[in-house]
């Protein structure tokens, strides 16, 4: 649909000016070097057709987008009940890398898998006895959805490893609470490896498409993971996926999404069969990249672009 591409081109250029409202993630040296003026989007529909506009020929690292994917992978491998026994699904109201919830509330487990404490816990429990085995199993799971191999961005990985002081402190706290399946350094290594996987917009849109359709890949016509896991994943994306602006994003955009400080956002738009006059009524996966992030860690221009698209095409699930 050329009209879809034409409209997206207008919206991308309209929202590119919002990149000045953010800046690249300075606390991770490798991410600080990204071009803050970039903005791109890819939408993949039910048939696997893609609509890509803007800075789309760019690879970027998953960062916190990996958290929802690793949660889905762990639930697929070990079962939803097993995972929810170790990690809760409650929003915190605190920063994604905060230790305060543990100190004040002492919940006995991380509040949700999308804060760093929860994501480190989930990463440590992925199947495999070593970091390498866990990482390889995760890659195979993701590669099964996108159809080709993925690679680690070693420069980003090394940059994050050397600056992971707060995450290391969180990992020690988790170890003291008997929540890690690995030693602290190994748990931190697998977590940072997942964050440092290099991906492109088309691949991320495909993962978003599968989540949107309850774990079913409509392109390959196969169930990748259970609908129960996909349902919990979408709830987490709505309530916790956009850091401390998740509530505002739900109110103004209204679609399940997960962001990362590299500037990536993965969104899952479920089908809306009653909206025949609107685009993508069979649902779609959306991936946005805009490395200038706001104070909450979300792509400044990417968030505004998603808001406009959701409003104009009636994507909100609410």
Query: From the annotation, which residues make up the binding site for substrate?
Result: 64, 116, 160, 167, 191, 243, 261
Q: Cα–Cα distance between 166 and 160 in angstroms, integer?
A: 11
Q: Give the position of tokens 């040296």.
A: 29
* CA proximity to 254, closest of 269, 243, 236, 233: 269
Q: Name the active-site residue from 124, 191, 196, 229.
A: 191
Q: Exposed (0-12), middle (13-18) or buried (19+): which is 57, by Cβ within 10 Å? A: exposed
Catalytic, 5? Answer no
> Which residue among 87, 131, 229, 261 is the active-site one?
261
Of 66, 142, 243, 258, the catalytic one is: 243
For the annotated binding site, the residues are: 64, 116, 160, 167, 191, 243, 261
Dihedral sign of CA atoms 54, 57, 61, 62 in order: positive
Q: Is 157 a catalytic residue?
A: no
Selected catalytic residue, list 12, 67, 210, 299: 67
Long-range pairs for 221-229 at CB < 8 Å and ≥24 separation? 224/76, 224/144, 224/145, 225/72, 225/75, 225/76, 226/75, 226/76, 226/80, 228/80, 229/72, 229/75, 229/76, 229/80
Q: Is 202 a catalytic residue?
A: no
Name the active-site residue from 51, 52, 64, 259. Answer: 64
**64 classed as catalytic:** yes
Q: Cα separation of 96 and 90, whole Å?
A: 13
- Degrees (nearest 5) of the Cα angle 119, 122, 127? 145
Question: What is the Cα–Cα distance from 261 to 76, expressed in whole angstroms?
Answer: 26
- Judge whether 172 counts as a catalytic residue: no
Show which residues are catalytic. Answer: 64, 67, 191, 243, 261
């Amino acid at each position: 649909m050329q009209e879809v591409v034409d409209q997206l081109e207008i919206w991308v250029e309209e929202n590119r000016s919002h990149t000045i409202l953010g800046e690249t993630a300075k606390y991770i040296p490798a991410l600080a070097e990204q071009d803050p003026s970039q903005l791109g989007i890819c939408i993949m529909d039910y048939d696997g057709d893609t609509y890509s506009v803007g800075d789309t020929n760019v690879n970027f690292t998953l960062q916190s987008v990996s958290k929802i994917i690793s949660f889905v992978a762990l639930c697929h491998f070990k079962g939803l009940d097993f995972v929810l026994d170790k990690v809760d699904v409650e929003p915190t109201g605190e920063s994604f890398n905060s230790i305060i919830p543990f100190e004040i509330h002492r919940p006995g487990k991380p509040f949700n898998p999308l804060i760093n404490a929860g994501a480190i816990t989930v990463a440590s429990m992925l199947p495999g006895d070593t970091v390498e085995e866990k990482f390889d199993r995760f890659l195979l799971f993701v590669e099964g959805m996108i159809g080709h191999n993925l690679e680690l961005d070693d420069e980003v990985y090394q940059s994050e490893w050397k600056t992971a002081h707060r995450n290391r402190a969180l990992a020690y706290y988790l170890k003291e609470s008997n929540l890690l399946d690995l030693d602290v350094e190994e748990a931190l290594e697998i977590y940072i490896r997942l964050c440092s996987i290099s991906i492109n917009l088309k691949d991320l849109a495909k993962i978003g498409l599968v989540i949107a359709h309850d774990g079913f890949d409509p392109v390959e016509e196969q169930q990748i993971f259970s609908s129960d896991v996909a349902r919990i994943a979408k709830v987490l994306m709505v309530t916790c996926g956009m850091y401390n602006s998740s509530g505002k994003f739900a109110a103004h955009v209204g679609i399940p999404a997960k962001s990362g400080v590299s500037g990536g956002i993965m969104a899952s738009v479920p089908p809306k069969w009653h909206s025949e006059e609107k685009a993508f009524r069979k649902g779609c996966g959306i991936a946005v990249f805009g490395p200038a992030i706001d104070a909450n860690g979300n792509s400044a221009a990417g968030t505004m672009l998603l808001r406009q698209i959701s409003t104009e095409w009636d994507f909100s699930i609410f």
